[in-house]
Amino acid sequence: MSTNKTIPFCNPGLRFDHFKNELNDAFQKVASSNSYILGSEVAQFETALSKYISTEYCIGVNSATDGLALSLMALGVKSGDEVVTAGLTAPATVTSILQIGAKPVVVDILDTTHCINPAEIKKAITKKTKAIVPVHLHGYACEMDQIMAIAFEHNLYVIEDCSQAHGASFNNQKLGSIGDCGVFSFYPTKNLGCMGDGGAITTNNGALASKLRALRNYGLQDNNVAEAGINSRLDEVHAAILNTLLPALDEHNESRRKYANLYQDALKNLPLKLPPIDSNAIYHQFPVRMENRNEFRNQLKKEGVLTGIHYDKSINQHDALKQYCQPLPVATRAAEELVSLPIQPEILDTHFETIVTKIKLALQ
């Protein structure tokens, strides 16, 4: 078939193409609605996502970066306050803390799931600590029981970064429903994505929800700005895309789990470290580890299979962020060894066997 063509690592366009007719209808509906900002599509999506995550409220915003910053702001985290987060994540997690003038305190991760290490959170807490931002990396849940216990003991807020964890759970609770709030990204390549930037915040706290609704819309509430906000709304057109795709999220996640299990079987005797098997993970990535990954990736690329790295820099390797980092030996090592294999169902439905064959060839 198309074995002579390069197999992409990730291709959100394949998904949009699959839903072409439904999406065209959705676009047409928005176009003729004469309502483009905070209309019925956003309201419908907020209701649907809160139902899906099992929270009382959901607030659509422009991105997860803004969602994290607005959550901190709405919870009253201020300049000079400290916010503890993870050493291996999208830089956005850390820059969102800087965005509101607070001080990130970046700590090391677990070597298994690559999520934040609760013991390191504990050690990092000072009188100035106000919040923890655990990141559910690659679709794996953080140790939320331990993290919530630490937060309770020290009276800290917990803002879950769920940008890679749409539909994942911990002890039968959906991620995004455990902390004070959960923040989601709908960047096109996420498990649930739109055709541009988008995000949402889930919470069970009604006062927090009203505050967030105001802050995302200049701070306006009942025609009054009590506290200055920003413009960070989810667009109607993106909400319409998300309304079309959300009903298929479970099926897509299930398909990722299926391929993750197939990878586990197919790759088990090869010189690479496989990620943990976890039926509650949603495999935003399928991250394997090895030394000499460049050789492997180049060889695979020559064979027509592209891979990714999430992430090739731990947070302490970014010039503007290193000053906020504690020693991160585990994250730094992981950043040198991680390779993300293709895991998007639309790619693997066609190419899984070829990818496995080429991986075996490259590791011979």
Ligand X SMILES: *Cc1c(COP(=O)(O)O)cnc(C)c1O
Of residues 249 through 288, those in contact with ligand X by CB under 6 A are none
134 binds ligand X (CB under 6 A): no
The size of the interface with ligand X (CB under 6 A), counted in residues, is 15
Beta carbon of residue 30, minimum distance to ligand X (angstroms, whole number): 21
235-255 b/e (C-beta count within 10 Å ≥ 16 → b): bbbbbbbbbbbbeebeebbeb
Q: Specify the residue for token string 């293709």.
A: 342
161 binds ligand X (CB under 6 A): yes
3-state secondary structure of 71: helix
113 binds ligand X (CB under 6 A): no
Stretch that binds ligand X, among 1-9, 156-164, 211-219, 288-296 (CB under 6 A): 156-164
Select the residue interacting with ligand X from 7, 15, 58, 63 (CB under 6 A): 63
Inter-CA distances, 305 with 1, 21, 156, 161, Å: 15, 30, 44, 30
Q: Which is nearer to ligand X, 162 or 356 (CB)?
A: 162
The interface mask with ligand X, positions 189-218, x = CB under 6 A, is --------x-x-------------------
Q: Which is nearer to ligand X, 92 or 142 (CB)?
A: 92
3-state secondary structure of 234: coil
Stretch that binds ligand X, among 62-70, 115-123, 275-283, 351-359 (CB under 6 A): 62-70
Q: Specify the residue for token string 């690592």.
A: 9
Q: Specify the residue for token string 């607070």.
A: 102
Select the residue interacting with ligand X from 55, 129, 185, 253 (CB under 6 A): 185
Stretch that binds ligand X, among 60-68, 116-124, 235-243, 268-276 (CB under 6 A): 60-68
Distance CA 34, CA 55 (A): 30
Inter-CA distances, 111 with 108, 114, 117, 331, 332, Å: 9, 5, 9, 8, 11
Question: For the CA atoms of the chain, what is the radius of gyration?
Answer: 20
187 binds ligand X (CB under 6 A): yes
Select the residue interacting with ligand X from 94, 135, 181, 321 (CB under 6 A): 135
> What's the gap between Cα 171 and its chain centre?
19
Residues lying near ligand X in the complex (CB under 6 A): 63-65, 89-90, 92-93, 135, 161, 163-164, 185, 187, 197, 199
